[in-house]
Structure 1
Amino acid sequence: MKFKQFLINEQNLKELTKHYTGALPIACYETTILEHASGYIPLHWHDEIQLIYVLKGEAVFQVNEEKIKLRSGDGLFINSGCLHMAEDLKKTGCVYICLNVLPHLFLPQELYTTYVLPYVQSTNLSYVLIDGSKEWSRAIQQALFVIRKLVQTKEPLFEIEITANLIKVWKQLLVHAFQKRYVYTEEVKNQRIKAMLTWVHMNYSEKITLDDIAASGQISRSECCRYFKRMLDVTPLQYVMKYRIQKSILLLKQEEKSITDVAFEVGFNSTSYFIDQFKKMMGMTPLAYRKGKL
């Protein structure tokens, strides 16, 4: 199964997709980044742990503040609740397997509190690079292939086989990759950037200042700028501009709305400024984009 689009709560960036296979809170699918509706995997988070294995090409994944380049044969562990996105910057046609699993499925309940929960809650464990050249990494990748096949074929007792392979994956991560350490400041940073992005998504159609965004995260203007630069490599107001253009793309598909209507609806107070900014970001005018899509 190929996965090309998923729903995201626009206010808090949480993915809304329900990941279930049979009775298990799990999903395994292939994703081609450039085939996604946005042309990239947009910033989001979910309660599930995510495991990735790149089948083809290369891509840059961002998890919280960190950017990780993955090539064919590499994998990635993304912890529960962490903001992440992915881009195929070189247009390599990157395809990867994506496994989403709720944390409690990795081990039985009696072992969960000791061997899973501390790592899920460890704020310095946002991701782990699964280097394809390492023997333990190849063991994880093999388990992912088995799980993908079981999800597709649903052979007899497939849920038990999936669970057995998840235990194998978790054991390899425990032995070779995890470090348990709680860092309160990391949790605070994660919650603040989520709060600021949520505020922007709820208020993008109104006038927004840097002071407004900083206040929503309860930090200073300068610290706000540092947060956005570290996490998203843009200034806060550049992010607002980018988000407004993204929202305008959806509205341009509605023929009954004029370009001016769209501009004002997403927070621009000048049609000409909207056209100028849209062209800078998309390489064409809003009208040309509309004609191409319709």
Structure 2
Amino acid sequence: MQLKSFAIDENLKELTKHHTVIMPIAYYQTTINQNIHGHIPLHWHDEIQFVLIVKGKANFQVNEDRLEVREGDGLFINSGCLHMAQEKDQTNCVYICLNLSPFFVLSQELYTTYVKPYIQATNLPYLYIDSKESWGKKITVAILEIYQCLERKSEYYEIDTTTQLALLWKNLIDNGFQLEYIEAEKIKSQRFKQMISWIHEHYADKIMLEDIAKAGQLSRSECCRYFKRLLRCTPFKYVMEYRIHKSLLLLQKDNSNITEVAYQVGFNSSSYFIKEFKKTMKMTPLAFKKKKGLNGQI
């Protein structure tokens, strides 16, 4: 299954239903540059995620860390962690993805001992899966096996999937990772999500730095430090880029008016909107519409 876009609510939480009819697991293949944004935007979900790069290279960000994931390697992203991805060096990156409920990893009797400590660890937002390592190779093989089981749905595929999933998890926790539980780290993550959530709820309104900081229960200077550390940008730059991304869906409506779209997403003039849109998307709104085969008006 190819996924080109997915819905995200005002809290950055992904709304894609991560399950099949029988099992709480989603599987899909993504070509990063085919996403409506040209990349996978910042989001999070309750499910844990396993990624396997099958073509090219990608730059991922998980919470405040950035890393390159190469073809053949993978990535484990923990529950509730903010993450985004974009292809690297125009490699037309393609990856397969498994998103699943932590409660589905092992039986209920084993969950408390072998899953819950890893889901709650504050020093495990992600784990790079290096296929050159023995444990990493076993995990990447298991990811591919699970994806193929779910895609083909051959006889007993549910049993095959759960068997591979148990092997995958055993190899992940068997690599000797020392877990930490720091309450302050959880609070930081929650405050940042609160600020992002506030922006997503009020992006079309006039936004002041004080408002964003207040949403995260922070001072203005500390708010700016959060954004610089986590997103490498100012709060207002994030607001600007989010407004542009919100405009993409509106612009894809046939005969949409560019000036009206500008005001709908929080700009006070169409010229300023066009300028910022071009800066972010490397084309004008009108060129974007023409690329999508749509008619438009200024």
TM over 0.5: yes
Structure 1 unaligned regions, length at least 5: none
1:48-197 counterparts in 2 under 5 A? 48-176=47-175, 178-197=177-196
Corresponding position of 1:6? 6
Corresponding position of 1:282? 281
- Give the CA deviation at 1:257: 4.1
| Residues 68-103 of structure 1, C-alpha deviations (whole Å, 9 max, x = no match) | 100111110000111111001321011112111111
CA separation of 1:6 and 1:13: change in aligned 2, threshold 3 A: same
Q: Normalising to structure 1: TM-score of the pair? A: 0.95
Corresponding position of 1:47? 46
Q: Is the 8 A contact 1:125 1:179 kept in 2?
A: no
Distance, in Å, in 1 between the alignment partners of 2:242 and 2:286 is: 19
AA aligned to 1:2 is Q
Distance, in Å, in 2 between the alignment partners of 1:240 and 1:261 is: 19
Distance, in Å, in 1 between the alignment partners of 2:107 and 2:279 is: 52
Distance, in Å, in 2 between the alignment partners of 1:61 and 1:14 is: 17
Runs of 4+ in 1 over 4 A off after TM superposition: none
Number of matched residues? 293
- Give the CA deviation at 1:16: 1.0
Q: Give the SS at the match of 1:213.
A: helix
Distance, in Å, in 2 between the alignment partners of 1:3 and 1:255 is: 23
Q: Is the 8 A contact 1:128 1:177 kept in 2?
A: no
CA separation of 1:73 and 1:185: change in aligned 2, threshold 3 A: same
Q: Normalising to structure 2: TM-score of the pair? A: 0.94
AA aligned to 2:48 is I
- Identity rate of aligned residues, in percent? 56
Q: Is the 8 A contact 1:78 1:126 kept in 2?
A: yes
Distance, in Å, in 1 between the alignment partners of 2:152 and 2:254 is: 43
| Residues 233-268 of structure 1, C-alpha deviations (whole Å, 9 max, x = no match) | 110000011111112222223345433222221111
RMSD of aligned alpha carbons: 1.4
Q: Is the 8 A contact 1:119 1:178 kept in 2?
A: no
CA separation of 1:186 and 1:102: change in aligned 2, threshold 3 A: same
| Residues 46-82 of structure 1, C-alpha deviations (whole Å, 9 max, x = no match) | 1111011111100001111111100111110000111
Distance, in Å, in 1 between the alignment partners of 2:143 and 2:273 is: 45
Corresponding position of 2:240? 241
| Residues 216-240 of structure 1, C-alpha deviations (whole Å, 9 max, x = no match) | 1010111111111111111000001
Q: Give the SS at the match of 1:241.
A: helix
